[in-house]
Amino acid sequence: MPNTGTVVSSVAHVAVLAYAVVGFSSAKPYEPTMESVAVEVLTPSEFDALTKGDRNSKKVADTPKVAAKKVEPVEAEPKPALPEKKENVEATQPPPEPKPPEPAPPEPKKAEAPPPPPEPKPEPKPEPPKQAEAPPPPEPKPAPKQAEAPKPPEKKPEPKKEDPIQKVLDRKPEPKKPERKPEKPQPKFDPTKIASLIDKRDPGRTPQAAAQASDVTTAGVSRGTASQLQLTRSSMLGNMIREQLYNCWNPPVGTEGMRDLMATIEFNLTQQGVLVGQPRLQSSSSNPAFQAFADSAMRAVHSCTQTSRPLRLPPEDYNLWQNVTLDFILPET
């Protein structure tokens, strides 16, 4: 009787195992999902011509801009746009004079609508800088304007108060309005604070120069039309050598982020890109990790300059890369 169970059980297990071995003979591999990566192919000269953008900037412009207050005189022609820059102290003298007539129209409006008050505000700003250099006449002008400006607002709240106080619950917003308006003009025509409005920046300063004046540094360029930089043959060769050697380079574990480590290595190459003699370490450091770091760089030079894997460099420039001195620095991550 126990035989029945044993036999049945054994047979069943053998059958299940046989099925499993056949059925699970090969694991079904996952469908390989290819992630598409946008790649832009750049020639070495294009790559070297890339301008550095500002990482924090959100703005992408058609042409790259670097924050600059001053136009580089060599390349750029004087542009009519420049005089509009208010920071340019010398150029802005004439424009403020025609402006004073403009504040006049707001006066009749004040009786009707509150918006005018903002208008006089921006105008006083350009004027104080003038005060430093320009004749005193402008000074009295802003004063009467501002004196007039606060008064009409005071009148307006009064008729309003009668209705809202009865209808609306909040008394607070209304008292504030008259307070605010007088406050704002005050700093402007307070003669003691005039000094604070003067451009205190060193007149002899050298503003950052660029081909084009711009307030911001752009994040990048929507079209790759960077201003062309001079690409020298040797800098291109340097990039080619660095790119190939860095691919063979395994920096030692633990040196990540130690960007102050630098191993300068000099070595000679044959015309085929094969190492001649021994690479020579030209730098030293007190950093305890330096030895391992330098050894890894030496290994990289060795492993990438073998006959089986030579450095691929343009043979016509052999005289430029016959003797190579390269600084190994951990790449920025």
Partner 1 sequence: MEAAAPVIDMSLWGLFMQAHFVVKFVMVGLILSSVWCWAIIIDKYMLYARTRRNMDRFEKVFWSGQSLEELYRNLAPRQTTSMPALFIAAMREWKRSFEGGSKAVASLQMRIEKVLDVTIQREIERLEGRLLVLATVGSAGPFIGLFGTVWGIMTSFQSIAASKNTSLAVVAPGIAEALFATAIGLFAAIPATIFYNKFSAEVAKQASRLEGFADEFSAILSRQIDERTG
Report the interface residues with partner 1, using CB under 8 A.
1-2, 4-6, 8-10, 12-13, 17, 20-21, 24-27
* Min separation Cβ 249 and partner 1, Å: 16
For partner 1, the closer CB: 8 or 113: 8
Max CA separation in the chain (angstroms): 126
For residues 51 and 65, the answer to whether their CB atoms sit within 8 Å is: no
For residues 115 and 153, the answer to whether their CB atoms sit within 8 Å is: no
For partner 1, the closer CB: 12 or 81: 12
* Min separation Cβ 15 and partner 1, Å: 12
- Residue (of 57, 88, 51, 50) closest to 71 by Cα position: 88
For partner 1, the closer CB: 247 or 286: 247
* Min separation Cβ 254 and partner 1, Å: 15
* Min separation Cβ 311 and partner 1, Å: 22
Q: Residue 155 and residue 114: Cα distance in Å, rounded?
A: 11
For partner 1, the closer CB: 24 or 90: 24
* Min separation Cβ 20 and partner 1, Å: 5
For partner 1, the closer CB: 16 or 165: 16
* Min separation Cβ 243 and partner 1, Å: 21
Q: Residue 288 and residue 292: Cα distance in Å, rounded?
A: 8
For residues 145 and 101, the answer to whether their CB atoms sit within 8 Å is: no
Secondary structure of residue 333 in the 3-state scheme: coil
Q: Which two tokens stand for residue 1?
A: 């009787």
For 306, residues 6+ apart whose C-beta sits below 8 A from its C-beta are: 274, 275
For partner 1, the closer CB: 5 or 122: 5
Q: Residue 120 and residue 105: Cα distance in Å, rounded?
A: 10
Q: Which two tokens stand for residue 298?
A: 């030496």
